[in-house]
Structure 1
């Protein structure tokens, strides 16, 4: 049996999509796997939380994932040391970063190259640090997993990684246990409530979405719920400036049941991002029959196909037109709902987990080759 050390130094409960990815994948891998044994190297925050979803032993690294300096040192140096100390045969780094060098083979999941494609969306010198850390981790990795053809192309072209080292493993948007939480199934989908989900990084495009909402006649303007903020919401001054206080509900980090409730009752999800490695919220919405309005960028076409309405994420007028076209047509919403369910059915976390396990097993079983 081969031992896989899983690098969870980043996991604090506040990192959104990457944490969802790790939890969905590893909750589907078996504690009784006859070929692979999993050991988690956890942040101090994760070690103090409920980690019953992880199929193996959890080690408290003593490193805070919220302390950027301690976390970066941990990724660059502590993970490789821990792999040797705990007798690992392989390291899986599932969140973009990993050791700068390692005697133990590494598989890196690289979700996106935002800091390379759009450094203007990453604060100050942090973009340079992220680029350096990603380059080091990618060069040290035996194989790289990514979720979309768009990200795969970026990894090959921007990092100079050979295509053979990059494994495409799409994500999923299924409801975790196959059913909605109690009471959600009976919720009536509202006719004029929009939902937007995500953190407040500039590339998510929420300010442009608010500008779009302000351009819709107040008598026909829908309400908008925006989730995912931590602490003081930077969108609050924008809402005030645009006079949208009666139409916008800014919410923080929600529980799974609270988010399910919003998916169930909202007319449509709006995802105005300017860059993504995959785009999990639209797929999650489609899996629940919620129509989606998304950015007209390649990765969104890759994920949503003909199930979505597309709009230029830099043009508030275009977003406003897309919103009105969906709200004004119940027949179109019904078509989108059916198409979204069919599209989402082609993705599953079981497939993602199985493909991830295959990549880990193949890597740990294969000899080192020149790259």
Structure 2
């Protein structure tokens, strides 16, 4: 039975969307009949936590995913060393980075090329290091997996990888898609909007916060923003605009807490400036929550006609569209129905099928 070593050195419980991708993908793979054996090479943080979702053995690498230097060395050199020692037939690196040289055949999931397309959003010299590591991993891989046409096109343009070596495998929201909204059970919720993401600059939260100033106080909703660890840098932005009454910074939440927010929010706003895919709108739509997204190509790939779109660089336009939608209950109900239907076109089971197909393509060689 072919053995697949899965590189999970990056997983620490603090990495957001990429960790969600790995957990959801491998939980779905566990449900598939197949003839592959899986071993995870885990960070010390992951190995000490709950790994019941992984369909195989978990090895503690002794490497901290929070120690950038140790983690980078592990990605570049330790993964292939462990693969050879275990007699693995294939390596899967699911989070952009991987070995510097070819050895055991490699499938790399490359989510986006943010350090290439927008190095201004990556701090200091770290952008240069990431570009080097991304380029080495992509060139070492026999096959790449990415989640959107936009991301595939960036890989072809910026890394020179032939399109025929890249599989487009979309991600998914929640597989337990909400019941369709009907006139009898329309979303009559408090005026609360939700935005989800880390605090990297391209998530564009300061402009979203500023957009509230363009909504009259009598109509201004509560904006809930999640996703920060420790002291939230957005607190200074909120104070700068005097919006403490209207902004709730909730930090890092559990999946259950996030579910509750999707269910209790009138609208999810995703003002990102750059993404390889963009999970939050799809998660929102699968819960029946309407989504307002940045008007960038990849978000149209994800949300289609079910969402509404706005210029993410224009706080006044963001505020105006939020206010318009909150005053349009019939349109929100229609968006909710369309969003549930759109989300049903994606599933983690289909994502697992696509990734497994890439594995078997490489193994067949």
Question: If the TM-score is normalised by the length of the shorter chain, which range does it land in?
Answer: over 0.9
Shift of 1:220: 1.0
User: Residue 282 of structure 1 corresponds to which residue in structure 2?
Assistant: 281
* Structure 1 residue 96 corresponds to structure 2 residue 96: yes
How large is the Cα RMSD of the aligned pairs? 1.6
Q: Distance in 2 between matches of 1:137 and 1:56?
A: 24
User: Residue 182 of structure 2 corresponds to which residue in structure 1?
Assistant: none
Q: Deviations over 1:215-241 (max 9, x none)?
A: 211111100100000011000011011
Q: Deviations over 1:145-187 (max 9, x none)?
A: 0000000000001000001100000000124x5679xxxxx99
Mapping 1:167-316, distance limit 5 Å:
167-175=167-175, 190-316=189-315
User: Residue 136 of structure 1 corresponds to which residue in structure 2?
Assistant: 136
SS where residue 135 of structure 1 aligns? helix
Q: 1:32 to 1:220 in 2, by over 3 A?
A: closer
Structure 2 contact 194–223 (Cα < 8 Å) conserved: yes
Gaps of 5+ in 1: 181-185, 367-371
Gaps of 5+ in 2: 180-184
Shift of 1:28: 1.5
Q: 1:70 to 1:189 in 2, by over 3 A?
A: farther
Q: Deviations over 1:119-144 (max 9, x none)?
A: 00000110010000000000000000
Q: Which moved more, 1:214-223 or 1:92-101?
A: 214-223
Q: Distance in 1 between matches of 2:34 and 2:346?
A: 26
Structure 2 contact 212–220 (Cα < 8 Å) conserved: yes
User: Residue 351 of structure 1 corresponds to which residue in structure 2?
Assistant: 350
Q: 1:187 to 1:330 in 2, by over 3 A?
A: closer
Q: Which moved more, 1:351-360 or 1:91-100?
A: 351-360
Structure 2 contact 43–65 (Cα < 8 Å) conserved: yes
Shift of 1:32: 8.3
User: Residue 86 of structure 1 corresponds to which residue in structure 2?
Assistant: 86
Shift of 1:191: 3.5
Q: 1:303 to 1:179 in 2, by over 3 A?
A: closer
TM-score using structure 2 length: 0.96
User: Residue 43 of structure 1 corresponds to which residue in structure 2?
Assistant: 43
* Structure 1 residue 163 corresponds to structure 2 residue 163: yes
Shift of 1:189: 5.0
Q: Deviations over 1:347-367 (max 9, x none)?
A: 00000011111111221121x
- Count matched residues: 360
* Structure 1 residue 57 corresponds to structure 2 residue 36: no
SS where residue 217 of structure 2 aligns? coil
SS where residue 282 of structure 2 aligns? helix
User: Residue 153 of structure 1 corresponds to which residue in structure 2?
Assistant: 153
Q: 1:311 to 1:109 in 2, by over 3 A?
A: same
SS where residue 28 of structure 1 aligns? helix
Q: 1:104 to 1:189 in 2, by over 3 A?
A: farther
User: Residue 13 of structure 2 corresponds to which residue in structure 1?
Assistant: 13
User: Residue 369 of structure 1 corresponds to which residue in structure 2?
Assistant: none
Structure 1 contact 204–273 (Cα < 8 Å) conserved: yes
Shift of 1:29: 1.6
Q: Distance in 1 between matches of 2:150 and 2:299?
A: 10
Q: Which moved more, 1:353-362 or 1:130-139?
A: 353-362
